[in-house]
Chains A and B, each alone.
Chain A
Amino acid sequence: MVSDSGGKRFNLKALLRDERFWKIAFQVITLLVVIGIAAFLIGNLNRNLARQGTVFGFSFLVNPAGFSIGESAIEYRPNDPYWRALMVGLSNTLSLVAAGIVLTTVLGVAAGVASFSTNWLLYKLSRVYVGLVRNVPLLLQLFFWYFAIYGTLPRPDNQINFLGLSYLNNRGVYIPWPSSAKLALFGIATIIIGAVAAFYLWQWRTNLRIETGTGGQAQLIGLGVLGVGVLLILTIGMNWQTPQGVEGGGVTGGLRLSREFVAALSALVFYTSAFVAEIVRAGIQSVSKGQWEAARSLGLNPGMVMRLVVFPQAMRVIIPPMNSEYMNLTKNSSLAFAVAFPEIYSVANTTYNQTGRPVEVFLILMATYLLICLVITLVMNQLNRAVQFKER
Chain B
Amino acid sequence: MTSVTPDSFSSAPPEVSRLGPVAWMKKNLFSDWFNSILTVIIVTVLGLGAFRLITWAFTTAQWEVIPNNLGLFMTGTYPSELYARIWVLLAIMCALAGFSWGVIARNVSTLFSRNVLIGIGVICAFIILFPPTRPSALKLLPMVAIVAGMAAGGRALGRKFPGIGKWVSLSWFISYFAAIWLIGGGLGLTNVSTNDWGGLVLTLFTAVTGIALCFPLGILLALGRRSALPVVRWLSTAYIEVVRGVPLVAFLFMGQVMIPLFLPEGARPDRVLRAIIALSLFSAAYLAENVRAGLQAVPRGQREAAMSLGLNTPMTLGLIILPQALKIAIPAIVGQFISLFQDTTLLAIVGLAELLGIGRSILANPNYLGRYAEVYLFLGVIYWIFCYAMSLGSHKIEQKLNTEG
A-to-B contact residues, CB < 8 Å: 19, 23, 26-27, 30-31, 34, 41-42, 44-45, 47-49, 51, 117-122, 125, 131-132, 134-141, 143-144, 147-148, 151-152, 331-335, 337-338, 345, 348-349, 352, 358-359, 361-362, 365-366, 369-370, 373
Contact = CB atoms under 8 A, between A and B. Distances in A.
Contact of A137 (B38, B254, B343): B343
Interface in B334-368: 338, 342-343, 345-346, 348-349, 356, 360, 363
Given A119-B35, A331-B247, A345-B249, A140 B380 contact: yes
Given A136-B383, A362-B250, A362-B258, A131 B373 contact: no
The dominant DSSP class at the A interface is helix
Interface in B214-251: 228-232, 235, 242, 245-250
Contact of A34 (B228, B235, B249, B338): B235
B29 interface: yes
A304 B174 CA distance: 59
* List of 5 A-B pairs having minimum Cβ-Cβ separation, nearest first: A135-B387, A120-B28, A147-B372, A137-B342, A148-B373
Contact of B388 (A47, A131, A144): A131
Nearest to B346: A139
17 contacts: A19-B313, A30-B229, A34-B235, A45-B262, A118-B31, A119-B38, A122-B38, A135-B387, A139-B356, A140-B376, A141-B380, A143-B360, A143-B376, A144-B376, A147-B372, A334-B247, A338-B349
B42 A349 contact: no
A30 B231 contact: yes
A143 B372 contact: yes
Contact of B247 (A34, A122, A332): A332
A253 B187 CA distance: 68
A51 B376 contact: no
Contacts of B376: 140, 143-144, 147-148
Contact of B257 (A19, A139, A141, A352): A352
B257 A358 contact: yes
A49 B383 CA distance: 41
Contacts of A349: 253
B373 A41 contact: no
A178 B126 CA distance: 56
A161 B319 CA distance: 66
Interface in B280-296: none
Contact of B229 (A26, A135, A147): A26
A331 B248 contact: yes
Contacts of A134: 387
Contacts of B248: 331
Contact of B38 (A49, A121, A135, A345): A121
B261 interface: yes
Given A120-B29, A137-B345, A334 B43 contact: no
A210 B1 CA distance: 64
Nearest to B389: A135
Contacts of B74: none
Interface residues of B, number: 55
Interface string B252-283: 01100110111111000000000000000000
A117 to B, nearest CB: 8
Interface of B: 28-29, 31, 35, 38-39, 42-43, 46, 228-232, 235, 242, 245-250, 253-254, 257-258, 260-265, 312-313, 338, 342-343, 345-346, 348-349, 356, 360, 363, 372-373, 376-377, 379-380, 383-384, 387-388, 391
A134 B377 CA distance: 15
Given A118-B31, A334-B249, A365-B250, A144 B380 contact: yes
Contacts of A147: 363, 372-373, 376
A392 to B, nearest CB: 27
B249 to A, nearest CB: 5
A152 B349 contact: no
B31 A121 contact: no
Given A23-B229, A121-B38, A139-B348, A144 B372 contact: yes
A358 B254 contact: yes
A120 B39 CA distance: 9
Contacts of B232: 26-27, 30
A362 B254 contact: yes
A308 B260 CA distance: 58
A44 B377 CA distance: 45
B250 to A, nearest CB: 5
Nearest to B60: A152
Nearest to A38: B262
B342 A138 contact: yes
